[in-house]
Chains A and B, each alone.
Chain A
């Protein structure tokens, strides 16, 4: 009888020890979920708006060669996201801004410099070609002019900008550029940006003027959304031309730079 009891005890003991060991495994996986908790809760909201941006991106993939104005279409899809309406607070600091000025730079291309050529030939004696050649073919070393502007305006940390970079930065074709003298800085929220280009011909010139006006309108919009002082400065900047020379000075010292440029180019 005793033997049987002992055998039963032995079996019970084995069974208990097996149960105890099994119980240990159940607790282990707990540690994995800890770090995820904070952000996981927001994942449902992320799904809402991730749909919206993809909608506008979908329509065109071959549009790169087409005119920039074609982007007007995506705006018709309207902002389906609720988040787009709330962030309007970013606009608040710029209440003094007057957005209408973006038009101004496009018409500032001053044709007045061409006028003298028509007045001079009235002397009848002299051939009409003479005055025009002195005006249009006046060659200016734009890199030397760039260095002069940097030193005369006292620009800190100016970095010369190679003309090869004008294509990806401003969309200006290399074939349109006869020569260039440019520099940029990284100073503050309104870094200096001086672009002086001699266009190869009048058609190239108008394309360059257009590209720089686009850049200027971007600067205006960005400054308007950022800092009222920067915006006030940006509003004073303009694209200026003389013959085939085109320039844009985005800088707190733009007036001095423009003056130096005008006196050099004529």
Chain B
């Protein structure tokens, strides 16, 4: 009789231990399946912000952003937003020293390095769109590396700013090749993917502005392009308005990473 009881106890014990192990497995599986999808650097759609949201924003960019600056100068739609833009500016040449031949933007009439201008501007949010001139000059990987260097330089001069990285906008045409590097929608997509990963790793925010301007065919919508028969990259006034509208509806109210 005692033997039987012991045998039963042994079986029960085995069953219990098996069950316990099964229970332990379950949470591990659910963690794995949810973790990769929850963390994102992308700023999601939000309620429309007030113009005052842009009072402490400084925009950094090339000729694409210069168009935005012109729109803002004429229309005054984005509060007290400041602009550090220059035609042909890139993350690469922004790292060069300032000279009479350099294309650094001016701040209060003085040509200076972007990071210094950001610090002097007093802005707490930095919106930066650069890369178009880098991809064609140094290729996708180097362009992204230089972008990170420039952002680091900005943060070392203005450690408290929040970085909002804007995706490079698409082209209306097939693009161009110079030497070994090509600027087209495929390389822009690769570059943007690197920027998004960079933002995720560094805790910066990624604004996918390109999605507001891209047609269903993946190209810049021709009705938003001011030079469809030329470079096929610059925006019309309507294009700038679509961009501004996107910025207004993709803001962070509480800061930090979105889930």
Listed in ascending order, the chain A residues whose CB lies under 8 Å from chain B are 2-3, 6-7, 9-10, 13-14, 16-18, 20-21, 24-25, 27-28, 31-32, 34-36, 38-40, 42, 45-46, 49-50, 52-54, 56-57, 61, 63-64, 68, 71, 74-75, 77-79, 81, 83-84, 86-87, 89-90, 92-93, 99, 102, 157, 159-162, 165, 168-171, 183-189, 191, 211, 214, 217-219, 221-223, 225-227
Q: Shortest Cβ distance from B143 into chain A, in angstroms? A: 10
Contacts of B110 in A (CB 8 A): 63-64, 68, 71
Q: For the complex, what is the distance from the CA of A16 to the CA of B13, rounded to whole Å?
A: 11
Given contacts A3-B6, A77-B97, A93-B178, contact A157 B14 (CB under 8 A): no
B116, B146, B226: the one contacting A187 at CB < 8 Å is B226
Chain B, interface size category, equals 35 or more
* B153 adjacent to chain A (CB < 8 Å): yes
**How far is it, in angstroms, between the C-alpha of A226 and the C-alpha of B64 when the chains are bound?**
13
User: Once bound together, how far apart are the Cα atoms of A156 and B18, in whole Å?
Assistant: 77
Give chain B nearest CB distance to A169 CB in angstroms. 6
Listed from nearest, the 10 A-B pairs whose CB atoms lie closest are A17-B17, A171-B109, A159-B74, A53-B153, A50-B152, A188-B227, A222-B87, A226-B88, A186-B67, A57-B116
Q: Which residue of B lies closest to A22 (CB)?
A: B24
Q: How far is the CA of A160 from the CA of B237 in the complex (A)?
A: 13
Closest to A36 in B: B201
Contact B99 A75 (CB under 8 A): yes
Check A10–B146 contact: CB distance below 8 A.
Answer: no
Please name all residues of chain B whose beta carbon is closer than 8 Å to the beta carbon of A36 when the two chains form the complex. 201
A231 to chain B, nearest CB (A): 10
B36 close to chain A: CB less than 8 A:
yes
| B189 contacts chain A at the CB level, 8 A cutoff | no
Q: Which residue of A lies closest to B31 (CB)?
A: A28
